[in-house]
Amino acid sequence: MTFRFLPLFILFLLVSCEKETDANIQIFQASDVNNANTVLLEAVMEDAFTPPVASRIYAYSHLAHYITLQSLRKDSLVEITSKINGLADLKFPKSKDVNPELASLLAFSNVGKKLIYSEHFFDDLTDSLKTKSLRLGLSEAIIKNSEDYALSISNHIGLWIDKDNYNHTRTLSRFTSTKKPENWRETPPDYATGLEPHWDKIRTMAIDSANVFRYKPLPEYSTEKNSEFYNMVIEVYNAVKNKTEATEKTAWFWDCNPIMTVHKGHMVTTIHKFTPPGHWLNIVNQVSTKEKSDYFTTTKAYTLTSMAMFDAIIAAWHVKYKTDLVRPVTYIQENIDTDWSPVLQTPPFPEYTSGHSATSASAAEILSSIYGDNYAFTDNTQLRFGLEDRSFKSFREAANQVNLSRFYGGIHYKQGVEEGARQGREIANLILKKLQ
């Protein structure tokens, strides 16, 4: 009798000893954060959001992830919620039997879905996260608790997002160019109206306001050949006139135009690519993967970088529409050479300061603070768009190359990229000082 029932008894013991994965165990890794970021980049590219709007989507999604994670693993990340403009009063729900990483990734997905059009990207991400959770041993109850926790925080953050003036700026008047020679005017080939003229009204994330940067005054407008303004323009003219294969490749590598149009007769084709901030977030993916960064370092890199780029773009747009400076293509075609064309397509907004330079410099400062001043890396972001990869000795070297790319591409003056870079560096350092 005893031997007869022994197998059943052993089976009972084995079954009773099997335990579901504890809610607090980390079952998601940095690769899951990288995958979520990739979904975000793809969704933004699919919907062809402009760089300012894209920076907003990136920053809010990653911030939701960071805040949720920090609320559940308090010793792993620095608390920043109280230092984000307008977010100090965020209330956190009860967190019993909640998996921190799952809740954080679900919050990321919720906020991303709120801000884009192609919602299926985030529906699929959410489904994959829940499926993986079950496979790795989380109970349905823990998954449900994590969903509820993420939803509660996402809803609070969503209400905060809705107060950032974005919806209000959609109702404001379009920008009308003055037609004065020194001011920006619509540029070929699309002659599109000025993009996001009220972007400096968007609430900043961490800096005090859009006008924290004191930019270098521009030279007085002039068409005289011995004037400082003319010499500033002729530099761009000559850079394009004397372009080489190397300078042209540099221009295209950092083009990052999310809505590039190709005109052939009456046909217009639109090509979608990563935005400038999207390019840098893809660099975070590559670097964190190369370094095998842990979940928390990866989260920090994404969040602080996206926040700095968001604020840098707001500050750059403030200066752009305040100075309202004519683009090189307009000045050159009217005063120097009617047949001259830039290498890159001129984006539809005033020149000063360079938004890409500000974006890149801010990202480079944040990443240098995390991975080091002389961190060497290879960037393969542009392989999918038919370009080569590029290697850099540091993040700042890559950002400096961005400056050259806008100059080589014929869309910015030297002063525009240099001051844009200084603007981005200052803003990133203000944020680092405030948050850390």
pLDDT digits (tens, 9 = 90+) for 2-24: 434 344 434 433 333 345 789 99
252 & 379 share domain: yes
316 & 426 share domain: yes
CB 380, CB 323: distance < 8 Å: no
Q: How far is CA 106 from the centre of its chain?
A: 19
CB 272, CB 258: distance < 8 Å: yes
315 & 383 share domain: yes
User: Other CB atoms closer than 10 Å to residue 245's CB: what's the count?
Assistant: 7
Encoded amino acid at 267, one letter: M
216 & 119 share domain: no
- The CA dihedral of 341, 347, 352, 358, to the nearest 10 degrees, is -120
209 & 328 share domain: yes
- pLDDT at residue 268 in the model: 60
256 & 208 share domain: yes
The reply to whether 173 falls in a domain is no
User: Other CB atoms closer than 10 Å to residue 9's CB: what's the count?
Assistant: 10
209 & 81 share domain: no
Please name which of 203, 105, 218, 210 lies closest in space to residue 153, comparing C-alpha atoms.
105
Between 61-65, 189-193, 199-203, 336-340, the lowest mean confidence (pLDDT) is in: 189-193
What does R_g of the chain's alpha carbons equal in angstroms?
25
- pLDDT at residue 3 in the model: 36
The domain containing residue 144 runs over which residues?
24-159
CB 18, CB 284: distance < 8 Å: no
- pLDDT at residue 4 in the model: 42
Q: Does residue 243 have a pLDDT over 50?
A: yes
The reply to whether 166 falls in a domain is no
- pLDDT at residue 403 in the model: 97
The CATH number linked to 282 is 1.10.606.20
State how many domains the chain has.
2
pLDDT-based confidence at 262, cuts 50/70/90? low
Predicted TM-score (pTM) of the model is 0.93
User: Other CB atoms closer than 10 Å to residue 47's CB: what's the count?
Assistant: 17
SS3 content of the chain, % helix, strand, coil (to 5): 60, 5, 40
pLDDT-based confidence at 229, cuts 50/70/90? very high
The reply to whether 165 falls in a domain is no
Query: What does DSSP assign to residue 325?
Result: B
Is the link from the previous residue into 189 a cis peptide, with omega within 30 of 0? Answer: yes
121 & 193 share domain: no
Residue 362 contacts by C-beta under 8 Å, 6 or more apart in sequence?
305, 308, 309, 311, 312, 424, 425, 427, 428
99 & 229 share domain: no
The reply to whether 279 falls in a domain is yes
| Among 159, 194, 210, residue at a domain's last position | 159
pLDDT digits (tens, 9 = 90+) for 50-88: 999 999 999 999 999 999 999 999 999 999 999 999 998
The reply to whether 317 falls in a domain is yes
292 & 401 share domain: yes
The reply to whether 169 falls in a domain is no
- pLDDT at residue 261 in the model: 60
Q: Does residue 124 have a pLDDT over 60?
A: yes
The reply to whether 179 falls in a domain is no
CB 307, CB 59: distance < 8 Å: yes
d(CA 241, CA 236) in angstroms, rounded, equals 9
**Tokens 């079954």 belong to residue:** 15
- pLDDT at residue 260 in the model: 62
pLDDT-based confidence at 169, cuts 50/70/90? very high
- pLDDT at residue 211 in the model: 97
246 & 379 share domain: yes
List strand residue ranges (DSSP E) for 90-241, in order.
none
206 & 334 share domain: yes
